[in-house]
Amino acid sequence: MAWLILAVAVVTEIIWALSLKWAAMQASLAASAIPIALSFVNMGLLALAMRGLPAGTAYAVWTGLGAVGVTIFGTLIFNEKVNAVQIAFVALIIIGVVGTKAFADS
């Protein structure tokens, strides 16, 4: 169950980070409220996942997959440019997350 909660936390992390970019583009108080609200949900889910997973494992997966998701969706939504070297390093993050999950005790 902790891994499922962590997966939801990763999705929330991606949405949170993308909402920061969106709020910066909107430059309104109402738009700024969305990332603030998401940050509370995001941290709550991560804390909940850490009840059943080691903190280092949960945090590594959360930040790693969050970075991968923001990279992917940043290119799709905001037309951010990513080069081949960056893609290779993002692939290394994915390999690290898969390895972390494969060798986790929980």
Residue scoring higher pLDDT (29 or 19): 19
pTM of the shown model: 0.90
CA distance between the termini of the chain = 10
pLDDT in tens, 6-27: 999 999 999 999 999 999 999 8
Residue 4 has pLDDT above 90, yes or no: yes
Cα–Cα distance for residue pair 58/47, rounded to 1 Å: 9
Report the candidate in 85, 88, 32, 93 with the shortest Cα–Cα distance to residue 62.
93
Provide the residue range defining the domain that includes 91: 2-102
| C-alpha 3, offset from chain centre | 14
Name the amino acid, one letter, at 25.
M
Count of the separate structural domains present in the chain: 1
75: pLDDT strictly greater than 90:
yes
Encode pLDDT of 32-72 as tens digits.
999 999 999 999 999 999 999 999 999 999 999 999 999 99
**What was the pLDDT predicted at 27?**
84
Region at 98 (left for phi over 0; alpha for psi -120 to 50; beta for the rest): alpha
Residue 106, pLDDT above cutoff 80: no
**Measured torsion, CA atoms of residues 106, 64, 38, 72, in degrees rounded to the nearest 10:** -130
